[in-house]
């Protein structure tokens, strides 16, 4: 039935047009025979689409020729060429009108679909804007707020129009000049807009917000507005301020602890020095009356005093390793490694060791602490050596966002299960009376490296040496002012057995 509906409409329109023409025929006679049929074609095309319009045109031609063209009731047999031309022109115009009306129908349908899609899109946007906790907004280049989501109106306690009109007054007076300056710079440069500021809530309380907006450019390239989002970061801001305050407190506590540690260290060292001094004086004054056992006891006493002093020095260094670095500069790690090796020359000569290093990078750090890292790691390799002369090599490589340093030796090694324990204070992989030390060296290294945002680990196997790795972030890199990195250096010490 739906398929026949256009054609039934065409028949109806032609029938009504014929009836109307017959009604006025006594008045018009043979003038304007196509006028009412043209109206019928237009009506058929409007309500029955192109099929009804063309069908009405085709039906109108023979009916009009038979009833209203002279001689009447003769169809096309006796029509003049002029009349045939008129019929042909009516047929062409009728089909053309039907096609034009169909185009209008389709344009109207597309407009209706576009309007529905726009309405659906706007509904989705408003639903999204009403459900998300953040504030969505648009601002024109002149500073007028074109749109603000419902969450902003609820926050400031105003209706939409008043909230958009007075949005700049809702910003905290202390933050307003900076906000306006940032906005003016974004408008002048045509760039994205960012700002962090406080906004007054309906109850008068100010909360921190962070806004980010992008310029919207139509096809002609001119910026129509800035569209963006404004997020409530009040809790994050308070946490940030609390963290900064706690950091200052920790720094102050660290400094106070340093001062306390130095005072305690000094106060403890003085009695130890007195014990050592008076013991030596006692031995010298009674040289001829002290037996060998008393001499041995005295030497043991002095050695114990020396170990306690060394332990105090190591404890103070361990405490310093956990404090903040106040002096950071771009340092050449080659120079730091060279300084560490130079400090260990006596041990290198004694053990006939060979210590080398590749070309190392330059990073921003504290020179004394980097030297301490190399000195502790190389010193450990010399202490825990095997029966062969020690061979120690320092290298570095880039790996994604880190610099990975390695200190490799051919020493006695240790069980891999002890690889984490050895970095704890006073812990050793293998306790040995042959090796002197406090057990704090690797703990100091670990604290220094972690303070710089790095990490440290070790790989080892008994009898096959060890490799200590530590990493530092590449964010510590900084271009040096025309200085070339030092070339790879090789340090070798010790005399070879003839």
- State pLDDT tens for residues 427-465: 766 655 455 555 677 888 898 898 888 999 999 999 899
d(CA 79, CA 76) in angstroms, rounded, equals 5
Give residue 363's pLDDT: 92
Give residue 492's pLDDT: 38
d(CA 72, CA 263) in angstroms, rounded, equals 133
> Does pLDDT of 267 surpass 70?
no
| 318's tokens | 């361990």
What is the per-residue pLDDT across 141-191, written as a single tens digit (0 to 9) for each?
A: 877 888 888 888 888 888 888 888 888 888 999 999 998 888 888 888 888
Q: 370: buried, middle or exposed (CB in 10 Å: 19+, 13-18, 0-12)?
A: buried
> Does pLDDT of 269 surpass 80?
no
Q: If pLDDT is split at 50, 70 and 90, which confidence band does 480 have? A: very low
Q: Cis omega (within 30 of 0) on the bond before 71?
A: yes
C-alpha dihedral, 152 to 157 to 162 to 163, nearest 10°:
-20
Give residue 482's pLDDT: 36
C-alpha dihedral, 205 to 206 to 209 to 211, nearest 10°:
110
What is the per-residue pLDDT across 378-422, written as a single tens digit (0 to 9) for each?
A: 998 998 888 899 999 999 999 888 999 999 999 988 998 988 888
Give residue 496's pLDDT: 34
Give residue 227's pLDDT: 86
What is the per-residue pLDDT across 94-109, written as a single tens digit (0 to 9) for each?
A: 888 888 888 888 888 8
> Does pLDDT of 43 surpass 80?
yes
Lowest mean pLDDT segment, chosen from 57-71, 264-278, 337-351: 264-278
Among 240-254, 307-321, 346-360, 468-482, name the most confident range.
Answer: 346-360
| Residue ranges in 344-405 assigned as alpha helix (H) | 345-351, 367-383
Give residue 106's pLDDT: 87
Backbone angles phi, psi at 188, to 5 degrees: -65, -40
Q: Count how many Cα atoms sit within 13 Å of the Cα of residue 199 in the half-sphere of its side chain.
A: 24
Asked if 403 contacts 363 with a C-beta cutoff of 8 angstroms, the reply is yes
Q: 26: buried, middle or exposed (CB in 10 Å: 19+, 13-18, 0-12)?
A: exposed
Residues ≥6 apart with Cβ < 8 Å to 152: 135, 137, 163, 167, 230
d(CA 465, CA 410) in angstroms, rounded, equals 4
d(CA 256, CA 262) in angstroms, rounded, equals 10
Lowest mean pLDDT segment, chosen from 23-37, 116-130, 185-199, 429-443: 429-443
Give residue 76's pLDDT: 63
Please provide the average confidence, as pLDDT, over all residues in the chain. Answer: 81
> Does pLDDT of 69 surpass 80?
no
Give residue 457's pLDDT: 94
Give residue 1's pLDDT: 64
d(CA 373, CA 443) in angstroms, rounded, equals 10
d(CA 235, CA 460) in angstroms, rounded, equals 47
d(CA 17, CA 30) in angstroms, rounded, equals 15
d(CA 47, CA 25) in angstroms, rounded, equals 27
Give residue 465's pLDDT: 92
């Amino acid at each position: 039935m739906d398929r026949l509906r256009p054609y039934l409409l065409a028949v109806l329109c032609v029938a009504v047009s014929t009836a109307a023409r017959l009604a006025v025929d006594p008045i018009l006679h043979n003038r304007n025979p196509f006028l009412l049929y043209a109206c019928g074609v237009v009506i058929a095309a409007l309500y029955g689409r192109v099929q009804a319009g063309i069908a009405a045109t085709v039906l109108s031609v023979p009916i009009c020729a038979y009833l209203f063209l002279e001689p009447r009731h003769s169809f096309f047999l006796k029509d003049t060429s002029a009349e045939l031309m008129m019929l042909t022109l009516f047929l062409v115009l009728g089909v053309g009108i039907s096609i034009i009306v169909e185009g209008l129908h389709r344009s109207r349908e597309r407009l209706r679909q576009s309007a529905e899609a726009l309405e659906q899109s706007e509904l989705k946007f408003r639903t999204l804007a009403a459900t998300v906790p953040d504030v969505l907004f648009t601002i024109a280049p002149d500073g007028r707020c074109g749109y603000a989501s419902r969450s902003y109106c609820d926050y400031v306690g105003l209706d939409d129009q008043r909230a958009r009109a007075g949005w700049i007054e809702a910003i905290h007076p202390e933050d307003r000049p900076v906000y306006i300056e940032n906005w003016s710079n974004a408008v002048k440069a045509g760039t994205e807009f960012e700002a962090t500021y406080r906004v007054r809530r309906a109850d008068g309380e100010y909360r921190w917000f962070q806004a980010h907006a992008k310029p919207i450019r139509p096809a002609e390239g001119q910026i129509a507005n800035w569209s963006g989002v404004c997020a409530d970061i009040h809790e994050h801001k308070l946490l940030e301020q609390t963290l900064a305050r706690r950091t200052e407190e920790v720094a102050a506590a660290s400094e106070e602890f340093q001062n306390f540690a130095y005072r305690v260290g000094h106060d403890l060292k003085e009695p130890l020095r007195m014990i050592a001094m008076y013991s030596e004086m006692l031995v010298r004054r009674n040289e001829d009356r002290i037996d060998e056992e008393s001499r041995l006891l005295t030497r043991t006493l002095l050695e114990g005093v020396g170990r306690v002093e060394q332990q105090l020095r190591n404890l103070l260094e361990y405490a310093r390793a956990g404090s903040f670095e106040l002096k950071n500069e771009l340092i050449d790690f080659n120079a730091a490694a060279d300084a560490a090796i130079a400090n260990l020359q006596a041990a290198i000569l004694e053990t006939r060791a060979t210590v080398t290093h590749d070309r190392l990078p330059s990073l921003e750090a504290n020179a004394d602490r980097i030297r301490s890292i190399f000195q502790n790691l190389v010193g450990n390799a010399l202490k825990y050596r095997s029966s062969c002369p020690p061979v120690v090599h320092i290298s570095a490589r880039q790996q994604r966002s880190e610099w990975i340093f390695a200190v490799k030796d051919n020493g006695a090694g240790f069980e891999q299960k002890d690889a984490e324990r050895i970095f704890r204070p006073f812990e050793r992989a293998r306790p040995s009376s042959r090796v002197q030390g406090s057990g704090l060296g690797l703990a100091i290294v670990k604290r220094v490296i972690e303070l710089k945002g790095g990490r440290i680990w070790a790989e080892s196997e008994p009898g096959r040496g060890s490799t200590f790795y530590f990493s530092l972030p590449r964010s510590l890199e900084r271009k040096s002012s025309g200085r070339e990195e030092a070339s790879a250096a090789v340090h070798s010490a010790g005399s070879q057995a003839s």
